C-alpha cells in the first residue's frame, strides 16, 4: 500500500482536477507551471511526493494541445525524479487519438508517438475517458483504464420515456457505442449513413432505422467542428424525429462549431462533459449543457489507489 494519495494538475483543466479532489476529500498538490521568456515550459512540484501514489490530471486538449502534452510529460518526469512510488497519468481527453493509423504514404501514427512520449516520461498507468479508438490502449507500455462517460450521460437521459427514444449513431464507426447506450436505455437504434468528402466535412445521406415521431439521441465520442452533428440532425428531422439531442463526451467545438450548432434549428440540445474546459462557449450557445465526469474519475482514482476493481464502475 502506498503511503499517500496525491493529485497533481497542469494548466489544461484545473477546474476538473479541483472537482476530483473535492470528491476524494483531498487537496491539490501545488505545482508551478510557468513559461520562460523564450517559450520553454518550466515545471516544479511544490510538495514532497517520495513514496506516494500520484495521479496527474491533464487532458491533452485544445486550445493549446501541444503545450498540454509537453506539460504532462514534464510533470511525469518531475515526479519520477522525485521518487514517487507510482505515477498515473489521468488524461480525460487524449489528443491525437484520431491519428491512430497511417492513412497516406509517409504519414506518422501520431497517437502511438504521443503514447510513447507519455510512457517514456514516467507514466506507470493511464486513465482516460472514451478513447476515439479502443485499440489505442495497446499503444501504451503500461496498463490503461478507458472509462465510459455514457454512464454520466445516461443519468440525464433517463428523464425521457424509453418507448419514445431512439439512439442514433452518426456513422457506421460509432454503432458499437450507440448500441451500448441503446441497450442501457432499453430503446431502439438507428444509424445515419454519411459520406465524408473532405476532412472535417461530412454529408449525411439517409437514416437506417425508424426515428419518426421519436426523440432521437445522437451519440458520439466527440464534437469537433460540428459538421457531422448538424448534418445528422437535419437528416433526422427530415425522417420525422420530433426532438433531437446530441450527446458527446468530448466537446472540442473548434472553428465554426458553436455558430453551426446555434444555426441548426433541428438540434434541440447538446450534452457534453467537462473533459475539455468550455470557458465562454456555454454563454455563446444556450443549447450546450455540460455534465461532470469528476465523480467517475474520483471513484476510479480511489479504486486504483486502494487496489480495488476499476471495471466494476462501468460493467
Whole domain around residue 16: which residue ranges? 5-148+294-313
Set 194, 198, 286, 299: catalytic member:
194
Instruction: Output the pLDDT for position 155.
Output: 84
The CATH number of residue 74's host domain is: 3.40.50.2020
Same domain for 61 and 41?
Answer: yes
Same domain for 9 and 144?
Answer: yes
Same domain for 113 and 159?
Answer: no
Same domain for 166 and 263?
Answer: yes
Instruction: Output the pLDDT for position 31.
Output: 96
Distance CA 69, CA 295 (A): 24
Same domain for 299 and 243?
Answer: no
Same domain for 266 and 141?
Answer: no
Note the pLDDT tens digit of each residue in 130-164: 999 989 999 999 999 999 998 899 888 888 777 79
Q: Are 2 and 53 in contact (CB under 8 A)?
A: yes
pLDDT tens across the length of the chain (315 residues): 557 999 999 999 999 999 999 999 999 999 999 999 999 999 999 999 999 999 999 999 999 999 999 999 999 999 999 999 999 999 999 999 999 999 999 999 999 999 999 999 999 999 999 999 989 999 999 999 999 998 899 888 888 777 799 999 998 888 999 999 999 999 999 999 876 556 655 565 789 999 999 999 999 999 999 998 999 999 999 999 999 999 999 999 999 999 999 999 999 999 999 999 998 899 999 999 999 999 999 999 999 999 999 998 876
Q: What global pTM score does this model have?
A: 0.93
Instruction: Output the pLDDT for position 301.
Output: 97
Same domain for 285 and 303?
Answer: no
Same domain for 142 and 238?
Answer: no
Same domain for 164 and 79?
Answer: no
Instruction: Output the pLDDT for position 3.
Output: 72
Dihedral over alpha carbons 73, 79, 81, 85 (to 10 degrees) = -130
H-helix or E-strand containing 300? helix 294-306
Written as nine digits, the cell of 112 is 502511438
Residues with Cβ within 8 Å of 173's Cβ and at least 6 positions away in sequence, in order, are none
In the numeric block, the cell 474546459 is attached to 277
In the numeric block, the cell 506539460 is attached to 71
| Helices 65-81 and 110-121, packing angle to 10 deg | 30
Q: Is 194 a catalytic residue?
A: yes
Helix (H, G, I), strand (E, B) or coil at 222: strand
Closest by CA to 117, choosing from 65, 70, 157, is 70
Q: Are 288 and 278 in contact (CB under 8 A)?
A: yes
Same domain for 144 and 154?
Answer: no
Same domain for 154 and 285?
Answer: yes
Same domain for 142 and 188?
Answer: no
Give the angle subtended at the CA of 88 by the CAs of 31 and 141, to the nearest 5°: 130
Note the pLDDT tens digit of each residue in 24-48: 999 999 999 999 999 999 999 999 9
Instruction: Output the pLDDT for position 281.
Output: 93
Domain count, the chain: 2
Instruction: Output the pLDDT for position 99.
Output: 96
Amino acid at each position: 500500500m502506498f503511503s499517500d494519495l496525491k493529485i497533481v494538475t497542469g494548466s489544461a483543466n484545473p477546474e476538473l482536477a479541483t472537482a476530483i479532489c473535492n470528491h476524494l476529500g483531498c487537496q491539490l498538490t501545488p505545482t508551478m507551471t510557468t513559461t520562460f521568456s523564450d517559450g520553454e515550459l518550466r515545471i516544479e512540484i511544490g510538495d514532497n511526493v517520495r513514496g506516494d501514489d500520484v495521479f496527474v490530471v491533464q487532458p491533452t486538449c485544445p486550445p493549446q494541445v501541444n503545450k498540454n502534452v509537453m506539460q504532462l510529460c514534464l510533470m511525469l518526469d518531475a515526479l519520477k525524479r522525485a521518487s514517487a512510488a507510482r505515477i498515473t497519468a489521468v488524461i480525460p481527453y487524449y489528443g491525437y487519438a484520431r491519428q491512430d493509423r497511417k492513412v497516406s504514404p509517409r504519414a506518422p501514427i501520431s497517437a502511438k508517438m504521443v503514447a510513447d512520449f507519455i510512457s517514456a516520461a514516467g507514466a506507470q498507468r493511464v486513465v482516460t475517458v472514451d478513447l476515439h479508438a479502443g485499440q489505442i490502449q495497446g499503444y501504451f507500455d503500461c496498463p490503461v483504464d478507458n472509462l465510459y462517460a455514457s454512464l454520466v450521460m445516461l443519468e440525464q437521459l433517463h428523464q425521457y420515456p424509453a418507448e419514445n427514444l431512439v439512439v442514433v449513431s452518426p456513422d457506421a464507426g460509432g454503432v458499437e457505442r450507440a448500441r451500448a447506450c441503446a441497450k442501457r436505455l432499453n430503446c431502439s437504434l438507428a444509424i445515419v449513413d454519411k459520406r465524408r468528402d473532405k476532412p472535417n466535412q461530412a454529408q449525411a445521406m439517409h437514416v437506417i432505422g425508424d426515428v419518426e415521431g421519436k426523440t432521437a439521441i445522437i451519440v458520439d465520442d466527440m464534437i469537433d467542428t460540428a459538421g457531422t452533428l448538424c448534418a445528422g440532425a437535419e437528416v433526422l428531422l427530415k425522417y420525422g424525429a420530433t426532438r433531437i439531442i446530441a450527446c458527446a463526451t468530448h466537446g472540442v467545438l473548434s472553428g465554426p462549431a458553436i455558430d453551426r450548432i446555434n444555426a441548426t434549428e433541428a438540434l434541440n440540445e447538446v450534452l457534453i462533459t467537462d473533459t475539455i474546459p468550455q470557458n465562454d462557449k456555454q454563454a455563446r450557445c444556450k443549447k450546450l449543457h455540460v455534465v461532470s465526469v469528476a465523480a467517475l474519475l474520483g471513484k476510479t482514482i480511489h479504486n486504483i489507489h486502494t487496489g480495488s476493481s476499476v471495471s466494476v464502475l462501468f460493467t
